[in-house]
Chains A and B, each alone.
Chain A
Amino acid sequence: EDQVTQSPEALRLQEGESSSLNCSYTVSGLRGLFWYRQDPGKGPEFLFTLYSAGEEKEKERLKATLTKKESFLHITAPKPEDSATYLCAVQPGSQGNLIFGKGTKLSVKP
């Protein structure tokens, strides 16, 4: 069964304290792995797509990496405005839909 597990469920950081979020997955034929950011009461906002093991992508303070079994979202020197829930999703090769994890709720304190 295709499945996505994110850890930790919640993460509290001080401003400037770098850390990583984990996304473990099992999927039949990975077409793509996606990271989204979601603010309370809003729809998910697309961040990155990763297609194959070894791939990395960066955007401002965020860097996403991919292996055959997991993906990491590294946050460097976070700011309070980075506080949000970060969602990981996979697209199985035979399907059009995304399978999401439950997300990691990140809080960054000034």
Chain B
Amino acid sequence: DTGVSQNPRHKITKRGQNVTFRCDPISEHNRLYWYRQTLGQGPEFLTYFQNEAQLEKSRLLSDRFSAERPKGSFSTLEIQRTEQGDSAMYLCASSSTRSGTGGHEQYFGPGTRLTVT
């Protein structure tokens, strides 16, 4: 399977703990995105990388959130001092800017469901 993969699929943590999620994009894709989705809402953009460079960050990404893509392959999203409001589905997507088309289709992984108790 060459799709986007995310680990873990589910994470339950206590308020105040740190958590880290991993995303492995489609192998030839140079862009990687993180989104957050809560019940009844569409995905909300958090940040994205082109290769190893973090190009854009949403205002939703508070200083408790940090993302890395050290070698331009997989990425990690860390949340420090988790709060109950962080409970959500965290989605990763990847795309290629080499397709030559105007818009770049983003392909999503299955998500990591975070529950903060």
A residues sitting closer than 8 Å to B (CB atoms) are 4, 31-34, 36, 41-46, 49, 51, 87, 89, 91, 95-103
Contact = CB atoms under 8 A, between A and B. Distances in A.
A43 B109 contact: yes
A103 B103 contact: no
A34 B50 CA distance: 20
Nearest to B109: A43
A34 B43 contact: no
Interface residues of B, number: 28
Contact of A97 (B40, B48, B102, B110): B48
B42 A43 contact: no
B56 A96 contact: yes
Interface of B: 4, 31, 33, 40-45, 48, 50, 55-56, 58, 91, 93, 101-111, 113
Given A31-B102, A34-B106, A101-B42, 6 more contacts: A41-B111, A41-B113, A44-B43, A51-B101, A95-B56, A98-B106
